[in-house]
Structure 1
């Protein structure tokens, strides 16, 4: 699983209007607050990155600093929002291309989306993103829509809200506060799947109930099949009930927990603790 693939949208603020005061206190970028910001301009740029801080510096630095041709000498740019939580970089890049080219994308080209009168370029791109998040295969990903500049938030279009399992968050992506347990009592064995009874041989095969009070272990494919019940047209459910405790869960929460477990294992320096499962209470 790859939670580091982000698709973002840049906006170039309008120049200061004559006789009008700027909006105070809104940063131009993550790392540079000059104390003022103006309304959205007419330029938007959609891109892909694994490092938002570095990418915004590149775009504002021009082509010589690694920025794109389309953003060169047209800034300053602000990274207003990002969509993250794609299962891999390929999925994120496909979303990026469809967001850039809605009239060509097989996913939504039949909708013939056009910018309507008085709709800003940014509002139009936000509407396109909402359509994409509601279209297959993106409608089943555990995505997060994050407003990096919360004061620039626009309401999602009423006619096409993001799916209920897509999280909405604000501010910068912070490194997880979860510590890597250094003692064996901070871990449990993978054990056996509570559905099929077979051993879970690899950590990458394991998912668990999101409830810390339960945290029952399952094969990912077993829990997915259980959640799908009679719907065999999909690979995994959007939600379900834990077969052990009966708690309702969102599949996105199950996958987010799995990603955290795998990241902790990747960061574990003690080879004797590799492949073990951190206790749910330690995350």
Structure 2
């Protein structure tokens, strides 16, 4: 039950790991902290997995991440499906890319070992099925060859689904570049700092009870008497009842949809990803300590007398 009162996580990813010694060796896992997890897999910190502990495979590198999961449970479901694309019910049998051709000793179907050309298409497939496509997922590529597999596979699909994930690439500095700027998993924000301005905007409005009228139904929003979501776009403070936002977003969505994916703000006409708005709302209503920590102003260092 404790998980119900926590805000949506700042970051939780499903990652694809590849051996730099034997590039054909692939491992799939999930974590809220990719840099720490990579150290564990490479034996630089306690933890890791037995399958990645062989010195003949180390060091490993993270070449692909999928982020944007609304909870650790959601990430674990995606991880299991990606590890077992021949079994998961999230993929209809007629759409499966990976099929079992043998059976294990216990009688369960056995898939072929993971490869880049099987894992990447399965990431593409899973992010497009109804179970996962309505989440605000991002696919990060830190390897050019992995990104090429994605692009090549995408070109074989007839059309892109309306809720395709956001694709992000970071291949690091070019050869000969002496820059020390962090890149790849080391450039990822592990906390809520990318949302700081948005969080501060909503915090200020609610703290001073300036909610005003709902942007949708025009009814007065009484402080602390309902769930009020705010537009995340810069300079816009449009706020409304959560159910009003939902009806507005679903009005232009596909028939039968229950969870919105995106909408346009009636005030600023800017695009809104539903997941971004829900993350801020969950943090504001469930993460008081996290908000205080994020908005706490650093004390200035005392000048030498």
Q: Answer yes or no: same fold by TM over 0.5.
A: yes
1:180-232 alpha-carbon deviations (Å, 9 max, x no partner): 89x99982226253224252655993322233232301233321111111756
The equivalences for 1:68-83 within 5 A come to 68-73=49-54, 74-83=57-66
Stretch moving more, 242-251 or 48-57:
242-251
Secondary structure at the counterpart of residue 62 of structure 2? strand
Are 2:130 and 1:131 equivalent residues in the alignment?
Answer: no
Stretch moving more, 47-56 or 170-179:
170-179
- What is the alpha-carbon distance in structure 2 between the residues aligned to residue 96 and residue 141 of structure 1? 15
Stretch moving more, 253-262 or 97-106:
253-262
Please say if residues 200 and 206 of structure 1, whose CA atoms lie closer than 8 Å, have aligned partners that are also in contact.
Answer: no
Aligned to 1:45: 27
The equivalences for 1:170-209 within 5 A come to 170=170, 171=184, 172-174=187-189, 176=193, 187-189=204-206, 191=211, 192-196=213-217, 197-199=219-221, 205-209=227-231
Are 2:290 and 1:267 equivalent residues in the alignment?
Answer: yes
Query: Which segments of structure 1 move beyond 6 Å, counting only runs of 4 or more?
Result: 183-186
The one of 55, 65, 78 aligned to 2:46: 65
- What is the alpha-carbon distance in structure 2 between the residues aligned to residue 204 and residue 78 of structure 1? 46
The one of 239, 251, 267 aligned to 1:217: 239
Please say if residues 142 and 256 of structure 1, whose CA atoms lie closer than 8 Å, have aligned partners that are also in contact.
Answer: no
Please say if residues 102 and 109 of structure 1, whose CA atoms lie closer than 8 Å, have aligned partners that are also in contact.
Answer: no
The equivalences for 1:16-55 within 5 A come to 41-55=23-37
Check 1:185–1:135 CA distance in 2 against 1; reply closer, same or farther (3 A cut): closer
The one of 115, 126, 145 aligned to 1:121: 115
TM-score by length of 2: 0.66
Secondary structure at the counterpart of residue 267 of structure 1? helix
- What is the alpha-carbon distance in structure 2 between the residues aligned to residue 89 and residue 106 of structure 1? 19
Aligned to 1:23: none
Aligned to 2:107: none
Aligned to 1:159: 156
The one of 70, 83, 86 aligned to 1:100: 83
The one of 251, 259, 263 aligned to 1:229: 251
Q: Give the unaligned 5+ runs of structure 1.
A: 16-40, 275-283
Aligned to 1:31: none
Question: 1:60, CA displacement in angstroms?
Answer: 1.3
- What is the alpha-carbon distance in structure 2 between the residues aligned to residue 54 and residue 142 of structure 1? 24
- What is the alpha-carbon distance in structure 2 between the residues aligned to residue 203 and residue 86 of structure 1? 28
1:205-261 alpha-carbon deviations (Å, 9 max, x no partner): 332223323230123332111111175622232332223343443434434655676
Higher helix share: 2
Q: Give the unaligned 5+ runs of structure 2.
A: 1-7, 100-113, 171-183, 297-305
TM-score by length of 1: 0.70
Please say if residues 204 and 262 of structure 1, whose CA atoms lie closer than 8 Å, have aligned partners that are also in contact.
Answer: no
- What is the alpha-carbon distance in structure 1 between the residues aligned to residue 201 and residue 83 of structure 2? 48
Count of equivalent residues: 241
Check 1:204–1:129 CA distance in 2 against 1; reply closer, same or farther (3 A cut): farther
